[in-house]
Amino acid sequence: MPAVDKLLLEEALQDSPQTRSLLSVFEEDAGTLTEYTNQLLQAMQRVYGAQNEMCLATQQLSKQLLAYEKQHFALGKGDEEVISTLHYFSKVVDELNILHSELAKQLADTMVLPIIQFREKDLTEVSTLKDLFGLASNEHDVSMAKYSRLPKRKENEKLKAEVAKEVANARRKQHLSSLEYYCALNALQYRKRVAMMEPMLGYTRGQINFFKKGAEMFSKRMDSFLSSVSDMVQSIQGELDAEAEKMRISQQDLIAVNESVYTPDSDVISPAINRNLIQKAGYLNLRNKTGLVTTTWERLYFFTQGGNLMCQPRGAVAGGLIQDLDNCSVMAVDCEDRRYCFQITTPTGKVGITLQAESKKEYEEWICAINNISRQIYLTDNPEAAAIKLNQTALQAVTPITSLGKKHEVQHPSQTVKNMEKDEVIPSGSAGIQDSTQLIAPGTPIQFDIVLPAMEFLDQNRGGRRANPFGESEDSSKDEEEDSLLQQMFVVRFLGSMAVQSDETCEVIYEAMRQVLAARAIHNIFRMTESHLMVTSKNLRLIDPQTQVTRASFELTTVTQFAAHQENRRLIGFVIHLSDTLGEESMSAYVFESNTEGEKISYAISLGKEIIEAQRVSLFHSPHVYDTSCSGFHLHCPGTSGVHKKNELLLLLRTVLQVLYNTAKINCLISQ
């Protein structure tokens, strides 16, 4: 006998779309079986009706044969041979009528009755359990929607406990109804075989018994065949009994589980989180905008496939692409007073989708998995090992290294540092050992939010200047004219800042990047503030993208180091060197993530510093004053004449042309 398809009872609690899809196949099979059973029953009832009609017909025939004698024919009463013959035939017909009556009774008991019992008992039971399962499933969805709308305020703990208990009861009810429904569908696969063969077995036996008593018309070969069919039915019945006992034991084991499997977010304080995931699947709430200010949340099944985030509605055969995760960014967000919300942003800075997890564990694992996938770890030969190594590297980045040998292993073997006093080349590991603690002091705190939100910034009157969207600013016209040589805008997200001890090399920026990223990963800090970084020939300004308020401003002359990450091209950092009135100096490293390559921002900063240097050299050589407005350059050269005037004009013109060339070059890079 071929293997029987079964629904796995262990997957009833998860209720995944794959299980629902397989369940729909079983339901479709049950529907087809019900329709076919009704048609088969109609055919069998017609046979049974024909057999009853045969009994009545033979009985009527026997009476008609006997009535021949009582007929009054005009030519005569009839001959006695015919009458005696018809009397004999009447007896034969009466004997056959008895056989037909026995056959009709046997067909009713062995053919019609089993198929009716199968329809009224098994198929009706499956239909009833299907309705109960649907009600329990809908009740669970309603309770989950109510649970998802719970606010984060602590004063609602009693309400949260009541709703969580309601979710647990609904989930338990759905689990019990699904187990009973699955068991009935599994048993139906066996019972339908018996239900199809048992009636025909009774029909065939009744016909054989009928013909055996009337005449020896069937051979022993048919008896052997019917015997084998009977043995097969008994074997299937034995398998059904064994499988029913096995499912009963499995159902008891699945019911006797811990209560935590029904309660969402059962371990809020210290959930066991796997941060090395490169694949993730589960139910999430998807935020959909239905109007200008109205939104809806839909609970769907999400899973990752390579670098794609897929969505599969319940009951669907396959999922569809909803978001490309390559080079995207994910961050935690506050959304409509809901817990465990996070947002996926495309590499171009466009806001993608907003999702909500049902527990803290799912929330953090989804963010970690999407973050790992966005780095394209899945393309490596061993993605799991790469993810583990990445998280271990992040942990080591904020762990002090006291062993001289370990520090030497961290350094790149191909890098060398030249000893200027002895004029010899030594390995870079030695230099790294001397300078590692001098770059950033061990235990230096990291600040993850250096700017206030735009509304708080305005409320505290910290001198934020808002740009007029119609270009009718009065007090800013002078600054715009001064910065007209260079104005480049970049979309960035602030990652963190920390104090540093040196600004002599770019290694301090790389070290700050490592520590900031590692600290964000270890402490589960996913929130980032998006800003517009304006690079001008005078300063660097962080501007709020919604209100156009300047959140922070750094003079370009105070930027002593700037560099992009060597591997992650979207990371950019710079060092600010400041001196206070008492003569004390302070240095801080700022780390950002950009939607474009960090090299373009570095090039823009470099160009701004070149413009400052060109202006300084030009003003140092002569008292020329030049105006670089949009309409052109106007040179004013008071008090100069002769050869000196000509040389200085040529020097200034060369500087201006170089600035224009660099500006056009960076515009070309950014447009690419």
Q: Residue 46: its pLDDT value, please?
A: 94
| Mean of per-residue pLDDT scores for the chain | 77
Q: Environment class of residue 299 by beta-carbon count within 10 Å: exposed (0-12), middle (13-18) or buried (19+)? A: middle
First to last CA, the chain: 66
Residue 210 has pLDDT above 50, yes or no: yes
Task: Record the tokens describing residue 573, joined without a space.
Answer: 């950092």
Which of the residue ranges 75-89, 431-445, 453-467 would you say has the lowest mean pLDDT? Answer: 453-467
- pLDDT at residue 311, as a whole number: 92
Least confident range of 37-51, 534-548, 631-645: 631-645
- How far is Cα 518 from Cα 539, in angstroms, rounded to an integer? 29
How would residue 199 be classed by pLDDT, with cut points 50, 70 and 90?
very high
Average pLDDT over residues 82-99: 81
Whole-angstrom Cα distance, residue 147 to residue 156?
12
- Give the HSE-up count for residue 365: Cα atoms under 13 Å, Cβ half-sphere: 20
Q: Nearest 5°: CA angle at 617, between 616 and 623?
A: 85
What mean pLDDT comes out for the span 459-471?
A: 41
pLDDT band at 661 (very low <50, low <70, confident <90, very high): low
Look at residue 70 in the predicted model and tell me its pLDDT: 85
Of 125-134, 555-564, 577-586, 661-670, the poorest mean pLDDT is in: 661-670
**More confident position, 639 or 6:** 6
Task: Estimate to the nearest angstrom the gap between the alpha carbon of 133 and the chain centroid.
Answer: 26
Helix%, strand%, coil% for the chain, nearest 5? 55, 20, 30
Average pLDDT score over residue span 149-156: 78
Q: In whole angstroms, what is the distance from residue 550 CA to residue 534 CA?
A: 10
- The percentage of residues in the chain with a pLDDT greater than 90, rounded to a whole number, is 23
Res. 136 pLDDT band, cuts 50 70 90: very high
- What was the pLDDT predicted at 594? 87
For the segment 565-584, the average pLDDT, to the nearest whole number, is 84
Lowest mean pLDDT among 69-78, 204-213, 403-412, 448-457: 403-412
